[in-house]
Structure formats: C-alpha cells, structure tokens
Chains A and B, each alone.
Chain A
C-alpha cells in the first residue's frame, strides 16, 4: 500500500514566489516524517525532519496529524532551490523500513 503520496510530479514557480510541495501519508501509528532533496549532479540528502521542527535553507514543514500531511514550504523561492524533493516516512520502530513518495521536481524560474 502506498504510504506516502506526493501529488505533484512537477512544480514550477518564479523566483521570489512562495512554494509549497505537498506530502500526504497513510499510517495510523506515530510516524517520523522527512524531506529529502536531490540537487542536480549531487547525491540524495536529508533536508529536514519533522521532529526537529527546524528551518533549513528557508524551508519548513509542519506535521499535521489530522490531515496526515507534511507539506514543505518556503515563502520566497530561489533558483538554487530547483531540485527533486522526496517526502519519506518511517514507522515508530527504529527498525522499520523507510517509505518514499514518488518525488516532486521543483523548478524555480528567474
């Protein structure tokens, strides 16, 4: 069963515009949610995790358990934000496997 859904394959915005990458999940327990990013010619890397409640490169993501969502947001997109973004979920147990969404390719136009 698909546990992580990213409804947008492609997302384009202009520089300076707000951006929101959507992520919904299906899991009844207490998941841990992450956003991973893959810039051109670089390896996939962790962007942020919901537990830390951090802001990385201006991005934030809030876990909404009621809506089972973990959308990634940035108020003012930059060209260097252009990348592939993956939402990921791990179940409560640290031995659990990681489930990835299908990814959203973000393009920020100048």
Chain B
C-alpha cells in the first residue's frame, strides 16, 4: 500500500523531552509538509520542504525542527520548547496537479 506513512500513531511524551515523528513517502514527491490539527483551528502549517536538503518555516514553527536528508523522509522533532505540543500531527506530500496526499496522522500527548 503506497503513500504516506506516519509513525508512531500514538505517542506519549513527558514534559521536557524531545520527540521525533516519522514521515515516509514512496510517491516520489518533492514537496512535503507537516501540519498540526487542533479542534477549531483547522490545519496549521509547521514546516514544509520543496526539495531535499531544503525546508522553510510555516506559520507555527516555534518549538519544532525538521530535516530533509532523503527525498522520501521528512521527520518532525517536537522539542521541549514547544509550549503546547499535545495535538494531532499530519504529514503530507504534493503530487501531480498540486494534489496533496496526507498520512494517517500521529497523536502526541504530553503527560
């Protein structure tokens, strides 16, 4: 089953710890994105990458970091600096005709 794979699906983190969410795609897409989805807030862009070894901050990048060392991988690190990290995180990539393909998401809970 091709597409976007996010892991883990559920993650618990203690305050003060960094955690990394994995995102892998086998669609050969250049552009990849990380969104945060909160009730009533919709989708907010954290970081995006147009091409390998390049990425840009989105609207809510503070407290997050990313890397894009390989075309198929775009991991997101939620650092201890992120004030309110408990949320649902969505990874996506952009294909032909500007169609965005989404992963199933990762639930992060800070305990």
Contact = CB atoms under 8 A, between A and B. Distances in A.
Query: Which secondary structure dominates where chain B touches chain A?
Result: strand
Interface string B69-101: 000000000000000000000101010011110
B45 A46 contact: no
A43 B58 CA distance: 22
B98 A94 contact: yes
Contacts of B50: 95
Contact of B58 (A6, A97, A101): A97
24 contacts: A6-B42, A32-B98, A34-B100, A44-B90, A45-B102, A49-B97, A49-B98, A49-B99, A51-B97, A86-B43, A94-B98, A95-B31, A97-B33, A97-B45, A97-B48, A97-B56, A98-B33, A98-B45, A98-B94, A98-B98, A100-B42, A100-B43, A102-B40, A103-B42
